[in-house]
Structure formats: structure tokens, C-alpha cells
Amino acid sequence: MRILAVDHGEKRIGLALSDPTATIASPLKVINHVSRVIDAAQVAALAGENEAGMIVIGQSFDEEGRPNLAGRRAARFAEELKNQTDIPVELFDESFSTQDARAARIEMGVSRRRRSGHLDELAAVMILRSYIEAKNSGS
């Protein structure tokens, strides 16, 4: 089953897609934020086009383990997405996905100049990798 991962941001939404066996995560695309309803419709359409059997949305938390502002936005987005698709939607702790994406670029040897810019797609890949690893380890 393919899994579509969503890194929901204020300005952009990064998307990553797994292979049919849900073992390999690859960047899919970045869409620009318009409105919750339109963004959800775009994500639902892409999930359908790519035959995703699950949509995972990254959610961030504060130090006390409660959803922070971005995490609450992601939860509202997940609810809207559930209204627009029959594909199961799940929230998943995305803590540090952007930092992990930045570290991955450094590890890959990407020059400092080329590392600048948006990490939305790569952050979605990190969310998807973490989700797959958590499911495979029985968490």
C-alpha cells in the first residue's frame, strides 16, 4: 500500500510518497498554501492519482507534549482532508523533520549555497520514513 506523507506548513505543503510496498519514501511535490479547503482538495486528488492507501500528516508538539500552533493547524487540515476523501488520514509526530531534512542535505554533501531554500518535500520524506520505521518496529 502506498502512503502519502504531508508536511503541512503555513506557506507550502511538502508531499512524499512511498513505493507500493511502503518501504521507500520519495519526494513527490510541493504545493503552495491557498486555503485549508483548496489545499485539502489538492492533497486528496494527488492521493487518489497516486493510489495512496493512507495519508500521514506530520504534527508537531510543544515541550509538554501538546500540539503547538503548527500542530493544531495540521490537525485542522487533517479534519478537512477527512471530509474530502475516503482514504484513511492519520496524524504522526513530525518533531524535528525539518531539522532532519537539513541534516540530510548536509550529509549528502550539498554545498551551503545549494542548501538554502525550502525543505518541505524533504521534510515530508523524513515524516514518511519515520512513520514507516515506527510501523515496522511495532510502535
Q: How many residues does the chain have?
A: 139
25: nearest Cα among 6, 46, 41, 44: 6
For a pLDDT cut of 70, what percent of the chain falls above it? 81
Q: In which band, very low, low, confident or very high, does the pLDDT at 120 lie, cut at 50, 70 and 90?
A: confident
Residue 109: CB atoms within 10 Å: 7
Structure confidence at residue 116 (pLDDT): 47
**Could you read off the pLDDT of 23-42 as tens digits, one per residue?**
999 999 999 999 999 999 99
| Res 106 pLDDT > 90 | no
For residue 8, what are the contacts with CB-CB under 8 A and spacing of at least 6?
57, 58, 70, 73, 74, 77
List the end-to-end C-alpha distance of the chain, in Å, as a whole number: 18
pTM for the model stands at 0.84
Q: In which band, very low, low, confident or very high, does the pLDDT at 117 lie, cut at 50, 70 and 90?
A: very low
- Specify whether domain 2-136 bears CATH 3.20.20.70: no
